Structure 1
Amino acid sequence: MTILFALISFAALREFVTLTHSRRSDHWVLLGMFGIIIPFQYWLVWTAWYGLFTIFIPVYCFLLMPAITALHGDTERFLERVSAQQWAVMISVYCVSHVPALLTLDVPGFEGRSLLLIAFLIITVQGSDVLQYIFGKLFGRHLMSPKVSPSKTWEGLVGGLATSSLLGALLSFLTPFSLLQAAGVAFIACLMGFLGGLVASAIKRDQGVKDWGHLIEGHGGMMDRADSLVFAAPIFFHTVRYFWT
């Protein structure tokens, strides 16, 4: 599972990098993103080194990456390039790595079944995407952010969150949560999933593209499939860790 999501991060990071501006002086940073940051972050997941796993990218990498770029003396669009690199690593690697990190959680009475937490997260968040689309098509009248995502409506959001929370409650048998706890956790994860998809759409609009890539015929790239998990996974992980371990 850890290797699988490392490969997903690799594909997603590649898609992000190809959409953003870079210069020759960024090549060492880009090489480090693929050759060092991804393997090391997922090694930290593999070894369950929580203390370093949570700060390696947002502290050490975020400080070192712009420093390496600055050492090359290339200041053209410096802030834009550095910000794009940091945000690429944040959503493609750091956030996504929280999915397999669920396997490292030691929930009393739930030993050996952490894989079911991943199943619960993916089913509810991805299910919420589908349900929001269905409710939007059936009842959507009020657009939420037409310039960012013309298909998202308030009716779709409310209907999708309500039914995905119910779905979470029905799947409570997969988790250490009670019925109400499962509904609440699913609601939070799906709300964050919605925000993740909205942010991903905003980035695509900013770059003038419809899809992140063409990895999956008719469905865009890897990030088009994983954008909801980007915001949902870290919040779900830390919610479970703080309240159930």
Structure 2
Amino acid sequence: MSQENWAFAATVVVLLGMATLVGRALGRQTQLGLNPAAIAAFNRRVRAWWVICAALSVALLSKWLTVMLFGLVSFAALREFITLTPTRLSDHRALFWVFFFFLPLQYLLVWRNAYPLFSVMIPVFAFVFVPMRVAIAGDPKRFLERVAKIQTGMLICVYCLSYAPAVLYLEAPGLTHSGAARLLFLLVLLSLLSEAVQFAWSRLYGRHVIAPQINQSRTWEGFLGSSATIGLVGAALYQIGATPFTKLWHAAAASMLVAVMGFAGSMTMSAIKRDRRVQDYGVLTEGQPGVLDRADALCFAAPVFYHAVRWFLQG
């Protein structure tokens, strides 16, 4: 690997190591009155982040393997989403098209770098096809609700998440495959790290819960503190040459957007879980978090990060 890649890899290890130490330190601070279950959940997330970042090392080796990896993640996330938002028998053929045609086609278009097409394929063509196919099945009961569930699952789990590997195909003056791979690592790392920082800010300084009925651990202090902190992390990474951005404010703004949109994703998916009265999206093992629990922040951050970086690097 190049010197920049080694520097970035070392930074990833340091940041994840800091998150690990924060989790362990919070677990020992019994006098703070923190919820042991919440701290245990946070530490499980940090361990999962180590695995995720290790798996992402494939991005430095092969673009198509990275696209395939995210395609499998999308398939698992969409399966969890559909399982927790039950559909009727008449929806199964529409779901077949979603899982085995539109999902693979979306990632195929990403792999072929067909940007104008993959950016509209699901929100235009798939969104028109799904209600038509459900209507042909001849079951009008809760028609609008059923169609909305399928479309929402496609939008979040497939369309939005597919923008993460699409970062590898960004074209800009001086941007190499190595630089694009660092951008993907930056997106994933900051979306994960923002959750750790938000957790720490909320537990230590949180006073005003944003939406108690949705998520009692999300506070305004945590949101503002984590957004500012992640922006500073992005600026620091720029200073050491670990990002391909050409301006300091580009790195800081893109990083802050990841934190803001990651927060939006976590809140949105928490609202869906509260509506379905479940704790986690995991469906394979009872009581275990699912793929969508780990990727909720990334799903919302990926498309915004992609377009912001595209504008910054090409502007």
State if a TM-score over 0.5 links the two structures. yes
Match of 2:294 in 1: 225
Distance of 2:285 and 2:70 partners within structure 1: 17
The AA in structure 2 aligned to 1:118 is: L
Q: Tell me which of 214, 219, 232 is aligned to 1:153.
A: 219
Q: Tell me which of 79, 90, 93 is aligned to 2:158.
A: 93
Q: Cα deviation per residue 1:154-180 (whole Å; 9 max; x = unaligned)?
A: 111111111111111122223222222
Distance of 1:125 and 1:145 partners within structure 2: 21
Distance of 2:266 and 2:196 partners within structure 1: 12
Match of 2:57 in 1: none
Deviation at 1:241? 1.4
CA contact (8 A) 1:215 1:222 kept: no
Please state if 1:109 is matched with 2:177: no
Distance of 1:90 and 1:54 partners within structure 2: 11
Matches within 5 A, 1:8-19: 8-19=73-84
Distance of 1:218 and 1:108 partners within structure 2: 48
CA contact (8 A) 1:120 1:174 kept: no
Uncovered stretches (5+) of structure 2, i.e. residues with no partner: 1-65
Please state if 1:61 is matched with 2:126: yes
Match of 1:211 in 2: 280
Matches within 5 A, 1:42-191: 42-113=107-178, 114-172=180-238, 173-177=241-245, 178-191=247-260
TM-score, normalised via structure 2 length: 0.75
Kindly, what percent of the aligned residue pairs are identical? Answer: 46
Deviation at 1:146? 0.6
Q: Tell me which of 55, 61, 69 is aligned to 1:4.
A: 69
Secondary structure, counterpart of 1:96 in structure 2: helix
Larger-gyration structure (1/2):
2
Distance of 1:218 and 1:133 partners within structure 2: 21
Matches within 5 A, 1:26-45: 26-45=91-110
Match of 1:240 in 2: 309
Q: Relative to total residues, which structure has the larger helix share, 1 or 2?
A: 2
CA contact (8 A) 1:192 1:228 kept: yes
Secondary structure, counterpart of 1:97 in structure 2: helix
Uncovered stretches (5+) of structure 1, i.e. residues with no partner: none
Distance of 2:196 and 2:285 partners within structure 1: 18
Deviation at 1:242? 2.3
Distance of 1:218 and 1:170 partners within structure 2: 38
Structure 1 vs Structure 2 CA RMSD = 1.4
